[in-house]
Structure 1
Amino acid sequence: MSNRKLRSIVVDDSEIQRTIVAKLITNHPNLELVAEYRNGVEVLKNVKSNEIDVIFLDVEMPLVNGFDLLSSMEHTPQIVLISSDPSYALKAFDFNVTDYLLKPIDEARFNIAVRKTLDASLNKAKVVEDDRHIFVKSSLQKVKVKLTDIKWVEALGDYVRLNLNDSSILVLSSMKSFSQKLPEDDFLRIHKSYIVNLHKVDKFNSNSVELCGEKLPLSRKRKTELKEALGAA
């Protein structure tokens, strides 16, 4: 199971129900209980959506019910709706909630809901990761290049060549200057003429690195850095 912890709040007008859900959250290794609220008004006054990952939200509350709260929030985190009435389920998914729990809440079913929130959170993080990019100047144009598309960068005199998943781009730049555009956690200069995407490395030995079916030279002084970057023993 992932060691990620989702910051969570409970919103329910019933103190007994809040206590039950709060205990389930506290006992779950992937959840962190941030706060408990009695109604939607308290949430709108005190909670910013970027401060939490998931709301465990009762549908039937006075003042502002669960659906009213969702309609009032500009940006919503993941939502697990809770109700004693199954007839709300269809409407719940019109609000793109992650899951819908019926009272009384069964721990096993609660854990399934948490699993769904974790999966959705990881998928969202992957989308963000996949969209990271840089702009490079090539043929007098600024070209957007996704970092996940770069396999390796190769020095060619006054230029560098970006070897991508399905093409290559020639950029007027030194290796030193271009390396500063790339995140250190994802890319490493393994040789005076090569920078590799660490996520695409298949294997390596004392003098070479293999990735995407190609073998590139590895400088002796870079071997330790590569081992550390890949977490290799």
Structure 2
Amino acid sequence: MRSNNLKVMKCVVVDTCPKVIDTLKSYLNRIEHVKLVASFINPIDAVTFLNKNKIDLAFLDAKLFCSNWIEITKKIEHLPQFIFTADDAKFRLEAFKLNATDYLIKPMVFNDLLKGIFKVKNRDKQLSSSTVNIVSAGTKETKKDRGGLLIKTEYETIKLDISEIKYIQTVKCVTKIFINNYSAPIITTLELDKILVNLPDYFRQIHKSFIINTCLINKVLKRKVVIDDMHIPIGEIYADRVMTDLAY
């Protein structure tokens, strides 16, 4: 039974396969305070609906939306968080460059969907709980988007633009977060695993001491990746999974 004390997350699904829609409907019905309010096979009908209704989350078939999502967003007044769904990982990096909250491979399993819902809720909490941004650390104002990450430093809590994070390195008990267009890293004592859980899937831990933004990779070598001029090692225990994820 659904409680009336918490806001219901309103969702829509857009997919050309009725079976996928049925599966998502079944899964979403099992999650408290989440409701599927509409489903579409025709993407044009979906865009019309999204422009007229305030929705919290949209599940979008990547092959229908990924290539033209930027243009589509210009037509939607109340843009929801969105999760791309796809038959394979072909669109994964492109999806996260578009700021997707998650990317699910079909056939979807319930636990993966549940993790995606948690990511949506976490983004909402981050946006609503903080008005602090990276200006407080002495650099330029960040983009106002859905990619906020709260980081506690020695003197303050700041909000970082996730898409601008290049890589994160831990040295002994100190973690350094390197950001585009910012000369010095943000320093925190947060452990890598506690940061990684709040990052979208295009971030990967590739070494016990490094997390990287895979969208900003310049080159992948045999046992390292290059981001800007930084050569970041790939740990032995991470190598197989990293190479598979990056399709190298």
Higher alpha-carbon Rg: 1
TM-score (norm 2): 0.46
Higher strand share: 1
